[in-house]
Amino acid sequence: MRFQDLLAYKKSFSLAMKIFNITKQFPKEETYSLTDQIKRSSRSIPVTIAEAYRKRIYPKHFYSKLTDSDGENSETQVWLEFALSCKYISLELYQELLNESTEIGKLINYMLLNPGKFGVKVSDQ
């Protein structure tokens, strides 16, 4: 299996691309703050999922990278909340993106709780 086949990767990549396209409409004065931050954090989610999967032969690295991905997902949710509060996105769009992000968080959590299903050698302790 390739990391691109992971559902968490696919959904997080899709979310990052949606955010990329939405931020094209953000005001220019947000270019070096909100816009850059939300694009960076949302892109980091699939990137660190890919890194986790490639490091799955090292269980501690797998967990570390997935928790990093989960953290980036949470950060993205905060930036979405800022975008809503600044009225750069509608409540409906915010809710849609938040729901996608929440689902991604559940998928990451599933990977963390079931590492053996992703090729991680779990010790018999």
Q: What is the pLDDT of residue 122?
A: 79
3-state SS class at 1:
coil
Which tokens hold the place of 55? 């490091």
Please give the model's pTM, rounded to 2 decimal places.
Answer: 0.94
| One-letter identity of residue 9 | Y
User: How many angstroms separate the CA atoms of 22 and 121, rounded?
Assistant: 40
Q: What would the pLDDT profile of 27-65 be if each residue is shown by its tens digit? A: 999 998 999 999 999 999 999 999 999 999 999 999 999
- Give the whole-number percent of the chain exceeding pLDDT 70: 98
Name all domains of the chain by residue range, CATH numbers in brackets.
3-115 (1.20.1440.60)
pLDDT given at position 125: 46
Q: Is the pLDDT of residue 124 over 60?
A: no
List, for residues 76-120, the tens digit of each pLDDT value: 999 999 999 999 999 999 999 999 999 999 999 999 999 999 999
CA distances from 37 to 1, 10, 13, 31 (A): 31, 21, 16, 9
- 3-to-52, 82, 87 alpha-carbon distances in Å: 9, 31, 35
How is residue 89 written in tokens? 């996105």
